[in-house]
Amino acid sequence: MNTRYASSRINTAIRSGLFISSLLFLSSCSAQESATATQTPEPIAVTPPATSSTPLVTGLPDFTPLVAHVSPAVVSINTREQVQQRSRAMSSDPICQIWPDFPICQIQQQRPQPNNSAPRERPRGVGSGFVISKDGYILTNHHVVNGASSISVTFNDKKEYKAKLIGSDERTDVAVLKIEGSNFPVLTPANSDQLKVGQWVMAAGSPFGLQNTVTAGIVSAINRDTGDFVSFIQTDAAVNPGNSGGPLVDTSGNVVGINSQILSSNGAFAGVALAIPINDALKVADQIRSSGKVNRGRIGVSIQDISTENATVLGLKEPKGVLINGIEQGSAADKAGLQAGDVVLEANGSAINDARDFARLIGNSAPGTTFALNVWRDKKLWKMSITTASDKN
């Protein structure tokens, strides 16, 4: 027998057997799948846990009537600034045309211009604002109008007015404008001290110059401390450059705040917007309207927060209030009888949580404002009264 041939036949037989076995195996799998597919699985009885049948959310609000109420009193603010005409030599210099910040070009800019080189105006920026009185007073941000040589406001019906800057305050970022006319549509302020986290709010303004834009969200936090003089309202209503100075309103159409800042890593909205509480803004605006400037209250003390260790030593239940470190001789605090080591716990019925809280309360008051204080001294509660002096003294 030819060994090679025999071996070939054996190998062929083996391969044929494996092939048949494989067919049988595949056929078996197919049969099992078919059987499985035709079988109806028995239902598994699962008892769901007991839940409340009362829905917590019954539907999203319809903002269309709110927009119709708010929009007529919201304005777009356009500002212009004066710039000196460049000298003819500089304007024709190709290097300065391409690189105006080149050192020699900056030197030429600082040189006195010829007498016939009158200053000109150029667009500076766009912001927002809203009318607070029928005779044309408008609230906006200080940073919207700061440095502007001329200001104009445009209503949603395209009517445009020249605006006069009555005054502005950098520390609170509040400014007051005035336009000539009467019977303007106005927005009514709410009591921002009663604002609650989770409330629906709507922002209105001109982001990127897109007039009559509204966005909605909720109040994300209140009393948000960013290190500024104002304690902000935080919201997730989308706010972008151009929204500054516009109103943040509640679902009743009343203003709860002035949109002022965003927290972002790239300059665009990232879910965190900050608004000045309208109660704080109006205190500043009232002073600006009456005198054109802000004169803050002052009592003449140095203060610090209460630490846990200090609270224990002083006999306080919790580290709240503000510790008086020092008193200026002849100051309002000195006249009121405050002493170093006193802890102010309340002012006019409002709890004082920390030093910044107390500083804002006094600083936001007008000179001559009287506060009823609850003071902790020698592990006893004392009732005292103090009247603020002027910070200009």
Torsion angle of C-alpha atoms 252, 257, 259, 265, degrees rounded to 10:
-110
Please pick, among 143, 150, 354, 391, the residue that the annotation labels catalytic.
Answer: 143
- Sequential DSSP letters for 119-139: -EEEEEEEEEEEE-STT-EEE
Decide: helix, strand or coil at residue 329: coil
The dihedrals phi and psi of 82, each to the nearest 5 degrees, come to -85, 135
Alpha-helical regions (H) of the chain: 3-38, 64-70, 88-91, 94-98, 103-110, 142-145, 278-291, 308-314, 332-336, 355-363
Do the Cβ atoms of 164 and 137 come closer than 8 Å? Answer: no
Q: Which amino acid, one-letter code, is at 280?
A: D
Task: Name the active-site residue from 76, 192, 220, 244.
Answer: 244
Q: Tokens in use for 142?
A: 């200080």
Catalytic status, residue 143: yes
| Residues 6 or more apart in contact with residue 259 via CB below 8 angstroms | 128, 203, 205, 239, 243, 244, 245, 246, 247, 248, 273, 274, 275
CA dihedral 210, 139, 196, 347 (to 10 degrees): 160
Per the annotation, the verdict on 21 as an active-site residue is no
Is 173 catalytic? The answer is yes
DSSP code of 286?
A: H
User: Radius of gyration of the chain from Cα atoms?
Assistant: 35
Burial 233-250, CB ≥16 within 10 A → b, else e: bbbbbbbbbbbbbbbbbb
Terminal CA-CA length for the chain: 127
Query: Which one is catalytic: 76, 128, 168, 173?
Result: 173
Which value, to the nearest 10 degrees, does the dihedral of the CA atoms of residues 126, 129, 133, 134 take?
A: 50
Catalytic residue numbers, as ranges: 143, 173, 244
